[in-house]
Chains A and B, each alone.
Chain A
Amino acid sequence: MPMKLTKFTFASLTILFLVAPLIAILPLAFTSSVILTYPIPSWSLRWFEELFFADAWRRAIVNSLIIGTGTTLLATVLGTAASLGLRNRLIFFRGTIRTLFLLPMVVPAVVLGVGMQVLLAGFGLTNSYAGVIIAHTVVAVPFVVVSVTGALAGIDERVELAAQSLGASPTAVFRRVTLPLAMPGVASGAVLAFATSLDEVVLTLFVAGPNQRTLARQMFSSIRENISPAIAAAAFLFIAATIIIGLVVVLSRSMLAKRR
């Protein structure tokens, strides 16, 4: 019994440690005060208004959505294609290539940012949406590769062979069998890619111009200029969106599992 109690206490403290920053910031989103501090004088939604109606914030939200969507599409397509390619046993250095795909996860973002800026400048893509989307895609692809590779590994190869023998051309096998079976992995890879783009600051600092200011970037700069509670409201928005996305993923997975 004391063992159980210790475990429970330890687990609770760990969870508290992880979510404490969120708990600290969230109530401030509803403050009526103009500065980001406790105690809260009274409750108000004025900072959400600010978020949605102040030009800088509104543009940041729209930018985040544009760049997030672009990154999601590009990263999902590239990552899925890479995972499919890596299934081929005939590829030499398969393990090495797979590790290369995961490299952006471990390389310091600052290093990547500098390199990205130099590279994109060469193509004239700095200060453009395309440039930011490309930069975000580089860090988002590993998440898609990990997720789709896992889903593909779960497919029984004989199912695809059976489809071939039943008259399905390679394209038909992919469209009717491989892709539907890998779909849960592709979907969660896409969600992770979107979340990565939403959250990305460092690369954005290096490659984005004033017109591509994303929500995360806007929060970063406004916390230096004026510590307004709009940041807390933006953080609230972030967390709410993340929870909703997470719920959608969990629900769609359990629905898929039921269908099987």
Chain B
Amino acid sequence: MAEFIRFDRITKFYGPLCVVENLDLGIAKGEFVSLLGPSGSGKTTLLMMLAGFEQPTSGNILLDGTAINAVPTHKRDMGVVFQSYALFPHMSVGENVAFPLQMRGLGKAEIAERVARALDMVQLSALAERRPSQLSGGQQQRVALSRALVFEPRVVLMDEPLGALDKQLREQMQLDIRDLHRRLGLTIVFVTHDQSEALTMSDRVAVFNKGKIEQIGTPRQVYDEPATRFVAEFIGETNLVEGVVEAVEGAEANVRLTSGAQIVSAVSGTVAPGQTVYLSIRPERVDLTEIRGDARNCLETEVTDSVYQGDHLRVQLQNAAHPLIAKLGRRSREFPPGTKVYAAFSAGDCRVIVP
């Protein structure tokens, strides 16, 4: 895929504080990329620089091959959706959506037609005469969305747009936005701190930490093959177990845990024998059996607690050297505390992470 947006060695300082550090990122046309990270990780600053609200301290932002650092916001042709909606309170819903078209000097008839279509797209045609303050949060966000899309911008930027909505509405909007993305072939850069939101919606997720990208990849890659400890812990829940590499064979490594147990684990980076590493094992990939099965990795453990959580059973285990958590499907049998069990998982469900 041809690259559409390119952040080229972007650095941003606020006074002495470095918020974005020497960052490179390419985004393809029609791609949905999430910038995921905790607050203060630089993801919003990067978006603000792309929108033109902030200037990078050094580095270039290229759009379709041309540097846009010097292009003012209003000529960048990007639709921005804010968490606070940022609707014009003194204009009706229809006038809000018409605004970008008026700024582009379109004729009245065309504006009316396109506003009608844009409002129809978010099912708000009936509310065109209302003021933003008369709408619910979800409706306001849909107005903001249709206002950002009505002028067919080259890129759509979203800054935690669903953060202020309640859970159910948020999940519905996630699917709606994903659907719009596919139908209209939009290029979307989406900032969020909610990992499940990023996994649900994106083609690719860039995980931010302290002004740098820790890992970028498909939702499946960042979840199943976390490159760093930060990514493994930030996205979903994981068991991190310390050990020493004994041997490396192709894409697999033999790791001896501090408890003495031997684990075979998948490796994505390069590790050398003798190196101290972490193993990341997702709790839902752990199986519990009472007799030692034929799985390649099997740890002797004891159940310390077991909590029924509706859709899954959460079991806390204590191994000789470290605690483990297992999430079992709801059809699983109960494991009362004190039960001796084996925690089993395949080599592919376990990742070596270099600290």
- Please measure, in the bound complex, the distance between the C-alpha atom of A159 and the C-alpha atom of B53, giving whole angstroms: 13
A165 near B131: Cβ-Cβ < 8 Å: no
Within 8 A of A (CB), among B139-178: 144, 147-148, 151, 157
B107 close to A (CB within 8 Å): no
B80 near A161: Cβ-Cβ < 8 Å: yes
B4 close to A (CB within 8 Å): no
- Please measure, in the bound complex, the distance between the C-alpha atom of A167 and the C-alpha atom of B103, giving whole angstroms: 6
A167 near B86: Cβ-Cβ < 8 Å: no
B73 near A159: Cβ-Cβ < 8 Å: no
B78 close to A (CB within 8 Å): yes
Question: Which residue on chain B has the smallest CB distance to residue A167?
Answer: B103
A7 close to B (CB within 8 Å): no
Within 8 A of B (CB), among A137-195: 156, 158-159, 161-170, 172, 176-177, 180-181
B305 close to A (CB within 8 Å): no
B86 near A164: Cβ-Cβ < 8 Å: no
Interface size class of A (residues with CB under 8 A): 20 to 34
Within 8 A of B (CB), among A42-89: none
Question: Which residue on chain A has the smallest CB distance to residue B147?
Answer: A166
- Please measure, in the bound complex, the distance between the C-alpha atom of A167 and the C-alpha atom of B74, giving whole angstroms: 4
B90 near A260: Cβ-Cβ < 8 Å: yes
A177 near B88: Cβ-Cβ < 8 Å: yes
- Known contacts A168-B74, A259-B90; A163/B80 CB under 8 A: no
B100 near A166: Cβ-Cβ < 8 Å: yes
- Please measure, in the bound complex, the distance between the C-alpha atom of A181 and the C-alpha atom of B132, giving whole angstroms: 14
Contacts of A260 in B (CB 8 A): 89-90, 131, 133
- Known contacts A172-B103, A181-B90, A260-B133; A165/B73 CB under 8 A: yes
B76 close to A (CB within 8 Å): yes
Instruction: Count A/B pairs, Cβ under 8 Å.
Output: 74
Contacts of A162 in B (CB 8 A): 80, 82, 86-88, 144
A165 near B78: Cβ-Cβ < 8 Å: yes
- Please measure, in the bound complex, the distance between the C-alpha atom of A259 and the C-alpha atom of B78, giving whole angstroms: 30
A181 near B78: Cβ-Cβ < 8 Å: no
Question: Could you say which of A156, A163, A167 contacts B84, with CB atoms under 8 Å apart?
Answer: A156
Within 8 A of A (CB), among B12-57: 51-53
CB distance from A212 to the nearest CB of B (A): 40
CB distance from B118 to the nearest CB of A (A): 12
A159 near B103: Cβ-Cβ < 8 Å: no
B86 near A156: Cβ-Cβ < 8 Å: yes
B79 near A166: Cβ-Cβ < 8 Å: yes
Interface size on B, residues (CB 8 A): 30
Contacts of B76 in A (CB 8 A): 165
- Please measure, in the bound complex, the distance between the C-alpha atom of A43 and the C-alpha atom of B6, giving whole angstroms: 85
B104 close to A (CB within 8 Å): yes
- Known contacts A158-B86, A259-B90, A260-B131; A166/B51 CB under 8 A: no
Contacts of B82 in A (CB 8 A): 158, 161-162
CB distance from B284 to the nearest CB of A (A): 39
CB distance from B301 to the nearest CB of A (A): 51
- Please measure, in the bound complex, the distance between the C-alpha atom of A164 and the C-alpha atom of B144, giving whole angstroms: 14
Contacts of A158 in B (CB 8 A): 82, 84, 86
Question: Which residue on chain A has the smallest CB distance to residue B80?
Answer: A165
Most chain-B Cβ atoms within 10 A of its Cβ — which of A158, A167, A169? A167
B89 near A166: Cβ-Cβ < 8 Å: no
- Please measure, in the bound complex, the distance between the C-alpha atom of A176 and the C-alpha atom of B77, giving whole angstroms: 19
Question: Which residue on chain A has the smallest CB distance to residue B97?
Answer: A166
CB distance from A208 to the nearest CB of B (A): 41
CB distance from B344 to the nearest CB of A (A): 51
CB distance from A31 to the nearest CB of B (A): 50
CB distance from A166 to the nearest CB of B (A): 4
Question: Could you say which of A164, A166, A172, A180 contacts B90, with CB atoms under 8 Å apart?
Answer: A180
Contacts of A168 in B (CB 8 A): 74, 99, 103
- Please measure, in the bound complex, the distance between the C-alpha atom of A164 and the C-alpha atom of B80, giving whole angstroms: 10
Contacts of A169 in B (CB 8 A): 74, 103
Most chain-A Cβ atoms within 10 A of its Cβ — which of B72, B84, B99, B131? B99
- Known contacts A156-B84, A158-B82, A260-B133; A164/B89 CB under 8 A: no
- Please measure, in the bound complex, the distance between the C-alpha atom of A260 and the C-alpha atom of B80, giving whole angstroms: 23
Interface residues of A (CB under 8 A from B): 156, 158-159, 161-170, 172, 176-177, 180-181, 259-260
Query: Which 5 pairs between the two chains have the least Cβ-Cβ distance?
Result: A167-B103, A166-B100, A162-B86, A165-B80, A158-B86
Sampled A-B contacts (23; CB under 8 Å): A158-B82, A159-B88, A159-B89, A161-B53, A161-B86, A162-B86, A163-B88, A164-B52, A165-B73, A165-B76, A165-B79, A165-B157, A166-B99, A167-B75, A167-B77, A167-B100, A168-B74, A170-B74, A172-B103, A176-B99, A180-B90, A259-B131, A260-B90
Interface residues of B (CB under 8 A from A): 51-53, 72-80, 82, 84, 86-90, 99-100, 103-104, 131, 133, 144, 147-148, 151, 157
Given contacts A163-B99, A168-B74, list 15 more A-B pairs with CB under 8 A: A158-B86, A161-B53, A161-B80, A164-B53, A165-B74, A165-B78, A165-B79, A166-B100, A166-B103, A166-B147, A166-B151, A167-B151, A168-B103, A181-B89, A259-B90
